[in-house]
Amino acid sequence: MNLSLNKTLLIPEKSDIERDTVASTFQRLGGSVMRLGKFWEKPANFEGKQIAIYGNDTFAKVVAQVFEVQLISPDDSFIARLSQQWLKRLVTIKTIAQLTENDFSRFVKLVLPKQFKANVYKNRSYLATEITGLNTDTEVLLSEIIEINAEARAFIWDGRLADLALYEGSADLEEGRKFLTDFINNHPDLPKVLVADIAYTIENGWFILEFNACWGAGLNGCDPEKVLACILEATQN
């Protein structure tokens, strides 16, 4: 992995423990960091400079527009196309109009931008207050509820694990590493960089929990020096 020290890392002005850790690591290695308050405005004297973005969803997408760069993000619907070998539970995508009482109780989240809180909803009426005002053709991701014993986060670079760390519960992480390596080897068309969260149940072992973009994902126990290249690469100038 090549570390792009020629990029300036742009992060929100507001302090955050994990973002601050990434920023200080980059600076220690010789990189430059800038905190943006009015992130909807382009700072002066930045023409022609390479940047990398690391922050929450709104910050990252607005800054990407301002600087006219592309963010590498996983396909939000990809997880619903995976086989049971990798999911170990039922995951489907439906439009709001297609939802019935038989779809609950489920964990529900939007496929695209986060316009309501991803959560467990007991029935459609519980969800109704959250989806008020959304178009009925808006797609949501429905996931079967299962009891999870452990969760781990991995940063992936070009088909290789940059780092993997447990952030919840207890399980054999080496078995998780083998599972995720097998998954990566069977899916050669993954984005160049992404974050994969995997989870473990005593009954079914390790499985894919969700995917996230490196430009917005927290470390969750991963080594900032090992995953920094993934974060920097997630912004394409």
- What is the residue-averaged pLDDT of the chain? 90
Which is the CATH superfamily of the domain at 74-88+147-212? ATP-grasp fold, B domain (3.30.470.20)
For helices 224-233 and 17-28, the axis angle rounded to 10 degrees is 90
The answer to whether the CB of 6 falls within 8 A of the CB of 26 is no
Does 198 have pLDDT greater than 70? yes
Give me the percent of the chain exceeding a pLDDT of 90.
67
Domain ranges of the chain: 8-71, 74-88+147-212, 90-143
> By C-alpha distance, which of 209, 233, 46 is closest to 158?
233
Q: Does domain 90-143 have CATH number 3.30.1490?
A: yes
pLDDT of residue 112: 66
The lowest-confidence range among 3-17, 119-133, 150-164 is: 119-133
Residues 6+ apart with CB under 8 A from 22: 9, 11, 54, 219, 224, 228, 231
DSSP string, 183-204: HHHT-TTS-SEEEEEEEEETTT
pLDDT of residue 67: 95
pLDDT tens digits along 55-66: 999 999 999 999
Does 103 have pLDDT greater than 80? no
pLDDT tens digits along 68-101: 999 999 998 899 899 999 999 888 888 878 877 7
Does 199 have pLDDT greater than 90? yes
Residue 106 parent element (H or E): strand 106-110
pLDDT band, residue 114 (cuts 50/70/90): low
Alpha-carbon distance 83 to 100, whole Å?
A: 24
Pairing mode, strands 150-157 and 193-201: antiparallel
